[in-house]
A and B are shown apart, each in its own frame.
Chain A
Amino acid sequence: MEENIVLNVNGIKLSISRNITLLEALRSNGILISASCGGRGLCGLCRVKILKGNISQPTLRERELLGELIEKGWRLACQTRVLGETWISIPRIRGGIVGERIRRSINVNPSVILLPLGRVSRSGPSVIDNVFNVLRKNGLNPKSCSMGFRRIIPSIVAKGERVNLVYDLEEEMVLGVSERGIYGVAVDLGTTTVVSSLIDLSSGSIIASSFRYNYQIRYGDNLISRIEYATRRNGVSELKKAAVKTINDNISELISSSDVCADDIYSIAIAGNTVMTALVLGISPATLGTYPFEPPFLGEIRVNTGSLGLIGNSEAIVYTLPVIGGFVGGDVAGDILASGLLEHNRAMLIDIGTNGEVVVKYNDEIVATSVPAGPAFEGVGLKHGMMAVEGAIESFSLSDDRYRVIGNTDPKGICGTGYVDILAELVRHGLLERNGRLREGKGVRRRESILEFVVASSDSSDIVVTQLDIRKLQLVISAFKTAYYFLLEQLGIKPSDLEKVYVAGSFGFRINPDNAVEIGLLPRVEKENIVFIGNGSLAGAEIYLVSMSEREKIRRICRRIRVLNMPERKEFQKLFIKMSRLEPLSA
């Protein structure tokens, strides 16, 4: 029998096997930390702090890379084996960065409401009839009630107590009674991260948010590998379990931090791309793995918490935001809800992520496409790339030779927003040609025959962007640029016709708009017309919970959106290559 021990990470208890490395332990629990060398003890990025516990002795590599830091408790996760219960802290993912979001103001009219009925009279043929009569007198048209309600209501009426009824206006159904309040949970179910928030349904206000990596990561770090895993024996059910557990751990954290009772959660809205949505429902996304990439279903799905295994009142309804078509799913429906896209005649929405999407609206027509961009802007596969966590260079300017590091520490690497700034600045100052080739000159040098630009110098090591990094970033930029060019062309409009460009995605929240336009990542419009909405999927799921009218509107809109696949066009290759130039799309 394998012996399990407890690892406490930032206060969260994990059960792990004895004698595995911290890096393996964290990864198998869905916690991703940077380790660009693949866990060989070379990059020093997987630094964690040991608070107390029983661990292996420092290795030679750790002594070399950490030096005196070892005495202060710092170790490399990839080199440290856990021998007994241990408490560690990992450099904090910056305060809720993945949850940062803004949303437009909306009418709060949730479908789940709390009705104080007072004491129910006992004049009718049954308790349920009596309750329904009161509701009808209030102008409602109840059609059914939950089993939970049938069980609880007779004793309340018998005692002559006041009844606070939980009623779903859309379902025209009595869900239960509540003495405390009614709550909802909004979920942004991302391929990599899952962010959830707790909403007070009576006021529409956000009480708390929580974040964790998707536990599905152990089955593959990208969508296609998840689809592939889903086609294996029991694959779908394992992936579903992992998604449900991730959401449940978020919910547990939300309710314990805010003193809300799980039974008072009456609705849950989940916004995810098509694959994530299918998987959390236990539906196979297999058809999305191969051409013609049709999704298993379109539109919204409604299901009980109980049947999914989610925490909440067993009568609560779980909504998955509408799947629009292809890979374009409820995450985009959320973005559309959170942004003001629908309020304009000509506007664009870009969700910048590993799996990106672009939506363009022109009068009554809305078209969308997905962008398999890859994780380069999350730092993956780049020499000094890293996520937007402590130690990452997040902005850069060449004119005053300045960079800013998250957490104001020494730079450990570069995150997506940093790369956008670096590319734009190098282009502006003539060190990088528009075709993406570095020019030897100030700050640009050759190492092992590869050109590279030195972003930051220190005694131990330099932080650089290599010519090969630039090519990888160029492919991502080209993917987005091709996508929005293609959609604009389909509708016969130019970038300059756009009234607004909404940019969603946690990475998108902090991009410098001038720099993103300079290299073509965003179309050229007036700076004030570029609006960053952050995590639009989460904001959209929140709106879905608190506004019945918005919910109805987005269901209607999603049926009208045409999803177009780019690579089916013959001239795609030519276009893609043309778009790889680091310049704004010409108007």
Chain B
Amino acid sequence: MNREEILERIRRLMVEIRIDEVKEAVDEALRMGIKPLDIIDNALTPAIREIGDLFEKGEYFLPELIISADLFKEIMDEKLKPLLTAEGSAREALGRVVIGTVKGDLHDIGKNIVATMLEIAGFEVYDLGVDVAPEEFVRKAKEVNADIVAMSALLTTTMIEMKNVIELLKREGLRDKVKVIVGGAPVTEEFARQIGADAYAEDAVKAVEVCKKLVGEKTGN
């Protein structure tokens, strides 16, 4: 098997979520001397993107999305990251994201998926969980020097909390240092604009795209 073949094999097995076989194929690739970054960029990341597409079309569902994200993290943490660190070729994080479901709201399935997808994409993610008060968002954003604050709300009665977080960021003088992205079933582009957020994303796949764009804007790239 050559490089192209083994990378293609990893990609295909990952899309089909054949857990043990993907791991074996990754080991095989490493034995063949293929660089961890090559595996990430040319096999695993395209696979995750394809899984995202299948989810958008309804062919994959929540279990596939969550299992594949977990699998990706497992491969990264157990097999690839240690090598990257040893080689000194570990990549710098794309940016730091503080994420949470707003105060009064306990929904976390969507938010968790977004958090994992962001991590996979190369962000450093700080997940504050559910029912997060504005003060907590702001405190964490300060503490980790966040680039992005990401908020989720599943209820029309709680989405107004997003505005409170933005107001508090302003009062604390942080608003021009962080970008704000919002999402969740009742949230719309229009609403995001109204409350003064920088961006809105309708699902996890879009959220990753948008966050990449936001850090790009920040650094002026």
| Chain A residues with a Cβ under 8 A of chain B | 220, 224-225, 227-228, 231, 289-291, 435-438, 449-451, 466-468, 470-471, 474, 567-568, 573, 576-577, 580
Residues on A with beta carbons closer than 8 Å to the beta carbon of B158:
289-290
**Pairs A-B, 10 closest by C-beta atoms:** A290-B104, A289-B157, A467-B58, A468-B58, A567-B106, A228-B156, A291-B104, A471-B58, A228-B157, A224-B156
CA distance A220 to B186 in the complex (A): 13
Residues on B with beta carbons closer than 8 Å to the beta carbon of A436:
61
Determine the interface band of chain B, counting residues with CB < 8 A from chain A. 20 to 34
> Per a CB cutoff under 8 Å, which of A289, A449, A466, A577 touches B66?
A577
Closest to B112 in A: A573
Is B62 part of the contact surface with A, judged by Cβ < 8 Å? yes
Residues on A with beta carbons closer than 8 Å to the beta carbon of B186:
224
On whether the beta carbons of A224 and B155 are closer than 8 Å, the reply is yes
How many whole Å from B147's CB to the nearest CB in chain A? 27
Residues on A with beta carbons closer than 8 Å to the beta carbon of B103:
290-291
Is B108 part of the contact surface with A, judged by Cβ < 8 Å? yes
How many whole Å from A437's CB to the nearest CB in chain B? 6
> Per a CB cutoff under 8 Å, which of A220, A291, A450, A567 touches B58?
A450
On whether the beta carbons of A580 and B106 are closer than 8 Å, the reply is no
Given A437-B59, A470-B58, A567-B106, decide whether A224 and B66 contact each other with a Cβ distance below 8 A: no
Closest to A452 in B: B58
On whether the beta carbons of A451 and B57 are closer than 8 Å, the reply is yes
Closest to A470 in B: B58
Residues on B with beta carbons closer than 8 Å to the beta carbon of A568:
106
Contact with A along B58-70 (1 / 0, CB 8 A): 1111110010000
CA distance A567 to B105 in the complex (A): 10
Interface members, chain B 52-80 (any A CB < 8 Å): 57-63, 66
CA distance A470 to B63 in the complex (A): 15
CA distance A290 to B157 in the complex (A): 7
Residues on B with beta carbons closer than 8 Å to the beta carbon of A474:
61
CA distance A436 to B55 in the complex (A): 12
> Per a CB cutoff under 8 Å, which of A224, A291, A449, A580 touches B61?
A580
CA distance A449 to B56 in the complex (A): 11
On whether the beta carbons of B106 and A466 are closer than 8 Å, the reply is no
Closest to B105 in A: A291
Additional A-B contacts beyond A436-B61, A573-B108 (17; CB < 8 A): A225-B156, A227-B157, A228-B156, A290-B104, A290-B158, A291-B105, A449-B57, A450-B57, A451-B59, A467-B57, A470-B58, A471-B61, A567-B106, A567-B107, A573-B112, A577-B109, A580-B62
On whether the beta carbons of B58 and A466 are closer than 8 Å, the reply is yes
Is B167 part of the contact surface with A, judged by Cβ < 8 Å? no
